[in-house]
Amino acid sequence: MPTKKAKKKTVVELSRSSYTPYALTEGEEYMSNPQLEHFKAILLHWRQQLMEEVDSTLQLMQDEIYNLPDAADRATQEEEFSLELRTRDRERKLIRKINQALERIQKNDYGFCDSCGIEIGIRRLEARPTATLCIDCKTIEEIKEKQWGT
Ligand SMILES: [Zn+2]
C-alpha cells in the first residue's frame, strides 16, 4: 500500500491571513497608487502560492505512479489523479485571471466594473482580487448563467 497520499490542500481560495486589510487615509482617492500597490502585492503572492502548488503536485503524482507495482492500485490512483488534475486546471485558469488583473493594475484600469464602470470596492477586491464586476453585475451574471446553463 502506498504510504503517502496526494496532498488535498488547495490555495484556490485566497487565504485571509495572507494580507492586511487596506487602511484608507482620509480623503484618499479610490485606486490611488498605494492601493494599486496593495492589490499588486496580494495578487503576486497568491500567484506564487498557486504556481508552487501546481509544481509540487505534479512532481508528487509522478513519483507516486512509479511506486505502485500493482495495476489495480495504479488504476485507483489514476482516478484520484484525474480529480487532482481538474483542480490543477482550475488553478491554471485562476493564474490566468491573476495575470489579467495584474495587467489592469499596470494600465490603471483596475478596480472598476467591466459592465457598468462603477467602483468594485476595496473590501470586495480584497476578498476577490480577480473580480472584474461589481456585486450587482455579478449577481445578474450568475442569474443569467443559471437560466442558460452556461
Ligand atoms: Zn457593475
Give per-residue pLDDT as tens, 2-49. 444 444 455 556 665 667 899 999 999 999 999 999 999 999 999 999
Distance 110 CA to ligand 1 centre (A): 13
What gap in Å lies between CA 150 and CA 145, rounded to an integer?
5
Q: What is the mean pLDDT of the chain?
A: 86
pTM for the model? 0.78
Distance 125 CA to ligand 1 centre (A): 13
Q: Give helix then strand counts, H and E, for the chain.
A: 4, 0
Q: What angle do CA 90, 95, 97 make, to 5 degrees?
A: 95
Instruction: State the residue range of the domain holding 62.
Output: 29-110
Residues with CB in 5 Å of ion ligand 1: 113, 115-116, 134, 137
**CATH assignment of the domain containing 72:** 1.20.120.910
Distance 120 CA to ligand 1 centre (A): 7
> Does residue 14 lie in a domain region?
no
Distance 73 CA to ligand 1 centre (A): 50
In the chain, what is the greatest distance between 2 CA atoms, to the nearest angstrom?
67
For the chain, what is the domain count? 2
E strand residue ranges, 12-129: none
What gap in Å lies between CA 111 and CA 120, rounded to an integer?
5
What gap in Å lies between CA 68 and CA 74, rounded to an integer?
6
Q: Are residues 106 and 121 in the same domain?
A: no
> Does residue 71 lie in a domain region?
yes
Q: Is the pLDDT of residue 74 over 50?
A: yes
